[in-house]
């Protein structure tokens, strides 16, 4: 410790005590209680009052809320100091375990100096959760032989709430067969058992659907339900029964093997194996009948097994029994009579006599496509035939009967290849037999294309954004048109429709690939010179005659941050330092200078902010980052140097940001001198080269209006009595002249100034230095020979102060005393 300087030891001790003090603040805990599910923006507490803080200091000390091990559900209103709900709080999502207490811990952190306040927020439970069953549906299998009084365990419900809001009781829907018994566990939870209270009969009531309801103790109470499905298990106490004792069915002759004659359907009121039936022939069924028909023992399906001939036998009888598979099987019986019917066993025929396989889509209605003939070898009604087209779709064709057995197929509606390019026409011929027989014939007809569709763009107006400074030849977009025609009628060529903008053809600015519609830029665009272009693009097919369409293209040039901010005030020659002179008696908040920069870009790229890059004493001056005003933050002391150096950077808001800097040298003097003479200042024309044309026009208009105003003020001033001269000692006068100073006016009692110049840019410098009715006249170092000068006209306001400056000289002349 002996080697540590005394000043450093003092700082260490102060730091240790500060840390102990902050730790003591952090150990204090403030507790609040709120119910869960409060709405967003709800008031919790006034932290500023409870913590003994000034509301205004919350913003200054950057108060923030740090929630420990949880999501940030709350926020601090720094205007009122209130702790408010930021997002609804669900107690069950924060405290997963079913505990009666639930806390949300957080810290309120303040800076300058750092203080930490511990906050504990108790989240009180509300009845916002209904009881929920772990299983929404419970299945129970109970035999119909079960005796009353049997108990069955059920899945209990759970409730995320705690205390009085948890489950209180259960209810069962009305049933004459079942009831419930509620039991309470050692931890207070409720359990429920299902009790059988009556005899079950599966054939009377096979399934019982019950609703179990759990109700909690909240106010108002909430409830949850579960479905209980009880399947009554069967015993074999019912014999199979056929729907009727005798069945009569017809079967056609020549029926193919495997043809289903009928399916027997016996029923057994039992279930399971007691209801599984086996079908079989009894001894009363003849062997011949069993050779012609088969019986499926499981499904009871009767099928044709042999060849059935109507002329040999017109009917057959089968005696069938159905037996269940119970332990003590039961059976039922029926008789099936099969009648054989005569059959129309010859199919009609259709023949295409002549056919056109292709047609152009502009063919006339009524054009002949094909000639068709039909026939049937059967006689009577079985030999009469009808011809029709496929009825599953609407076709632009019709059939016209030309003679007995002959039909003509004609075009009935206009054709469109773009809708349907090929038709598969199904000709269906059907006889009038019972059942009728039919035959199909398919004709394929191809539709040929003609150039009857103009190309179409996906949209009629395209807006394309192009960043300025694009490379020449860059692909802007691809414009694609569609033509539904085929072959050469579909091949498209793209053109830019000629249009001149300021004597420049569109084909000099843009190019389009005639084959695929790719649009290119032929030059590099500058947002500051050209903002957008509007022209048309035509798509033309190769048909005869060709068809075409066009769309409108709007090219919008986007701004890029390619212009560096230009500092227009305070003006200085290239690479030189701006000098400012102020009295040492200047008060706090005094305006020293104002930096103004302009940017030729737009929007965010033209938004300029100001920062102090270098400063001799950071406690003396402050810089407004938005308006560029440099003000004193305190009064000068005798220890402050007479000269201060500030380097200010003006940055735009582009990406990446561009900037410009200006160095200001501030000198302080004990006394100020009056400024009363006119100084001619030659200006350099080079300072106008980078200005935007629109800014020059605007500043010129403002300059004209301000000149008119100043002339009116001069006329009014001339009507007032002449001011008395200020007596200045010769020694001081010579000192002022010998120091080669320029006079800068900075107080509220300052002479008005006016500028006589033909350029609006210099006038903007004049406007930039006007502060609250005060005018500051600069005299920068500018090459001689330019025809611009600044004149200062005194105003009868009051005595003024003068300060020295080493930037330029002021010609000696008569002094005037300001009244």
Q: Do 54 and 108 sit in the same domain of this protein?
A: yes
Q: What is the pLDDT of residues 711-740, one digit of tens each?
A: 888 888 887 554 444 343 443 333 333 333
Distance of CA 1 to the CA centre of its chain: 64
What is the C-alpha radius of gyration for the chain, rounded to an integer number of angstroms? 52
3-state class (DSSP) for residue 129:
coil
Strand partners, 76: 83
Q: What is the pLDDT of residues 490-538, one digit of tens each?
A: 899 999 987 766 667 888 889 999 999 999 999 999 888 888 999 999 9
For residue 806, tell me if it sits in a domain: no
Those residues with Cβ within 8 angstroms of residue 777's Cβ, 6 or more apart along the chain or in another chain? 675, 679, 743, 744, 745, 753, 769, 790, 792
Closest CA to 137 of 211, 63, 222: 211
Question: Which position has the higher pLDDT, 147 or 314?
Answer: 147
For residue 383, tell me if it sits in a domain: yes
**Mean pLDDT in residue range 50-75:** 82
For residue 819, tell me if it sits in a domain: no
pLDDT at 818 over 70: no
Question: In whole angstroms, what is the distance from residue 133 CA to residue 68 CA?
Answer: 33
For residue 682, tell me if it sits in a domain: no
Question: Which position has the higher pLDDT, 719 or 423?
Answer: 423
Under DSSP, the state recorded for 126 is -
pLDDT class of 482 with cuts at 50, 70, 90: very high
Those residues with Cβ within 8 angstroms of residue 283's Cβ, 6 or more apart along the chain or in another chain? 319
Range of the domain at 156: 132-233
Question: Which position has the higher pLDDT, 739 or 22?
Answer: 22
Closest CA to 585 of 631, 637, 629, 643: 637
pLDDT at 747 over 80: no
Question: In whole angstroms, what is the distance from residue 199 CA to residue 205 CA?
Answer: 11
Top-confidence range, 3-7, 132-136, 764-768: 132-136
Q: Do 140 and 57 sit in the same domain of this protein?
A: no
Among 283, 306, 341, residue at a domain's last position: 341
Question: Which position has the higher pLDDT, 290 or 744?
Answer: 290
For residue 598, tell me if it sits in a domain: yes
Question: In whole angstroms, what is the distance from residue 190 CA to residue 173 CA?
Answer: 18
**Mean pLDDT in residue range 576-593:** 87
Q: Do 227 and 251 sit in the same domain of this protein?
A: no
The two structure tokens encoding residue 156: 């209990």
CATH code for the domain in which residue 204 is found: 2.60.40.60
The two structure tokens encoding residue 72: 């940030």
Strand partners, 541: 492
Question: Tokens 């010579």 identify what position?
Answer: 734
Among 123, 157, 179, residue at a domain's last position: 123
For residue 518, tell me if it sits in a domain: yes
320: exposed, middle or buried (Cβ count in 10 Å: 0-12, 13-18, 19+): buried
pTM: 0.40
The CA-CA-CA angle for residues 543, 548, 550, to 5°, reads 160
Under DSSP, the state recorded for 392 is T
Question: Which position has the higher pLDDT, 84 or 721?
Answer: 84
519: exposed, middle or buried (Cβ count in 10 Å: 0-12, 13-18, 19+): buried
Q: Do 553 and 570 sit in the same domain of this protein?
A: no
Q: What is the pLDDT of residues 753-809, one digit of tens each?
A: 323 233 333 333 434 443 333 333 333 333 333 333 332 323 333 333 333 333 332
The domain total for the chain is 6
Question: Tokens 């107690």 identify what position?
Answer: 91
Q: Do 336 and 355 sit in the same domain of this protein?
A: no
Q: Do 152 and 118 sit in the same domain of this protein?
A: no
Question: Tokens 């103009």 identify what position?
Answer: 454
Under DSSP, the state recorded for 734 is H
Under DSSP, the state recorded for 381 is G
For residue 686, tell me if it sits in a domain: no
Q: Do 174 and 191 sit in the same domain of this protein?
A: yes
Q: Do 104 and 175 sit in the same domain of this protein?
A: no
Among 212, 233, 254, residue at a domain's last position: 233
For residue 25, tell me if it sits in a domain: no
Kindly report the backbone phi and psi dihedral angles of residue 603, in degrees, each rounded to the nearest multiple of 5, phi listed first.
50, -130
Question: In whole angstroms, what is the distance from residue 548 CA to residue 539 CA?
Answer: 5
């Amino acid at each position: 410790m002996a080697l540590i300087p005394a000043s450093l030891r003092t700082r260490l001790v102060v730091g240790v005590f500060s840390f102990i003090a902050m730790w003591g603040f952090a150990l204090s805990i403030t507790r609040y209680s709120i119910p869960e599910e409060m709405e967003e923006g709800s008031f919790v507490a006034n932290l500023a009052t409870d913590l003994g803080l000034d509301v205004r200091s919350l913003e200054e000390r950057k108060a923030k809320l740090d929630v420990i091990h949880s999501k940030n559900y709350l926020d601090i209103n720094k205007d009122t100091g209130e702790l408010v709900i930021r997002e609804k709080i669900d107690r069950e999502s924060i405290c997963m375990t079913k505990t009666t207490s639930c806390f949300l811990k957080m810290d309120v952190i303040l800076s300058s100096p750092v203080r930490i306040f511990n906050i504990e927020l108790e989240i009180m439970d509300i009845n916002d959760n209904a009881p929920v069953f772990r299983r929404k549906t419970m299945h129970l299998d109970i035999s119909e032989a079960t005796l009353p009084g049997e108990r069955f365990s059920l899945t209990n419900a759970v409730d995320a709430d705690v205390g009085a809001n948890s489950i209180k009781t259960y209810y069962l829907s009305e049933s004459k067969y079942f009831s419930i018994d509620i039991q309470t566990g050692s931890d207070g939870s409720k359990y429920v058992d299902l009790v059988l209270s009556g005899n079950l009969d599966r054939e009377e009531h096979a399934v019982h659907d019950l609703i179990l309801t759990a109700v909690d103790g909240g106010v108002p109470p909430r409830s949850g339900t579960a479905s209980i499905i009880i399947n009554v298990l069967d015993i074999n106490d019912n014999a199979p029964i056929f729907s009727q004792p005798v069945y009569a069915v017809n079967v056609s002759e020549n029926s193919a093997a495997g043809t289903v004659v009928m399916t027997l359907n016996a029923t057994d009121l039992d279930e399971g194996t007691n209801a599984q039936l086996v079908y079989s022939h009894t001894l009363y069924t003849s062997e011949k009948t069993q050779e012609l028909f088969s019986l499926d023992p499981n499904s009871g399906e009767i099928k044709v097994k042999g060849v059935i001939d109507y002329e040999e036998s017109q009917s057959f009888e089968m005696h069938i029994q159905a037996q269940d598979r119970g332990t003590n099987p039961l059976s039922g019986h029926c008789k099936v009579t099969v009648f054989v019917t005569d059959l129309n066993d010859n199919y009609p025929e259709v023949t295409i006599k002549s056919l056109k396989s292709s047609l152009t889509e502009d063919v006339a209605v009524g054009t002949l496509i094909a000639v068709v003939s039909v026939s049937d070898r059967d006689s009577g009604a079985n030999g009469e035939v009808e011809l029709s087209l496929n009825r599953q779709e609407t076709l632009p064709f019709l059939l016209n009967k030309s003679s007995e057995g002959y039909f003509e197929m004609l075009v009935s509606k206009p054709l469109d290849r773009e809708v349907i390019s090929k038709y598969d026409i199904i000709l269906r011929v059907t006889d009038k037999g019972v059942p009728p027989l039919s035959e199909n014939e398919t004709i394929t007809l191809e539709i040929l294309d003609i150039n009857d569709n103009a190309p179409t763009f996906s949209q009629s107006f395209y807006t394309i954004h192009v960043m300025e400074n694009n490379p020449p030849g860059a692909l802007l977009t691809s414009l694609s048109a569609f033509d539904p025609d085929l072959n050469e009628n579909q091949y498209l060529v793209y053109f830019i429709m000629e249009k001149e903008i300021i004597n420049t053809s569109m084909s000099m600015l843009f190019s389009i690939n005639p084959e695929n519609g790719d649009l290119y830029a032929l030059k590099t665009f500058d947002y500051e010179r050209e903002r957008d272009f509007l022209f048309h693009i035509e798509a033309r097919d190769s048909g005869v005659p060709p068809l075409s369409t066009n769309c409108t293209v709007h090219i919008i040039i986007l701004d890029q941050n390619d212009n560096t901010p230009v500092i227009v005030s305070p003006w200085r020659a290239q690479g030189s330092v701006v000098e400012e002179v102020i009295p040492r008696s200047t008060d706090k908040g005094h305006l020293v200078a104002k930096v103004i920069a302009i940017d030729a870009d737009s929007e965010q790229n033209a938004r300029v902010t100001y920062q102090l890059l270098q400063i001799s004493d950071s406690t003396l001056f402050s810089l407004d980052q938005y308006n560029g005003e440099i003000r004193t933050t305190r009064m000068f002391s005798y220890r402050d140097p007479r000269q201060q150096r500030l380097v200010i950077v003006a940055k735009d808001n582009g990406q990446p940001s561009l900037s410009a800097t200006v160095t200001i040298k501030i000198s302080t003097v004990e006394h100020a001198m009056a400024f009363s003479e006119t100084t001619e200042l030659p200006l350099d024309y080079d300072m106008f080269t980078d200005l935007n044309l629109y800014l020059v026009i605007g500043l010129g208009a403002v300059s004209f209006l301000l000149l008119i105003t100043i002339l009116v003020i001069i006329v009014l001033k001339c009507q007032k009595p002449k001011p008395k001269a200020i007596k200045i000692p010769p020694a001081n006068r010579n000192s002022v002249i010998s120091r080669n100073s320029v006079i800068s006016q900075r107080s509220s009692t300052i002479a008005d100034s006016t500028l006589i110049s033909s350029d609006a840019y210099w006038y903007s410098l004049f406007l930039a230095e006007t502060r609250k009715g005060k005018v500051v006249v600069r005299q920068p170092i500018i090459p001689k020979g330019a025809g611009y000068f600044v004149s200062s006209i005194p105003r009868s306001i009051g005595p003024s102060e003068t300060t020295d400056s080493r930037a330029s000289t002021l010609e000696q002349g008569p002094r005037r005393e300001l009244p």
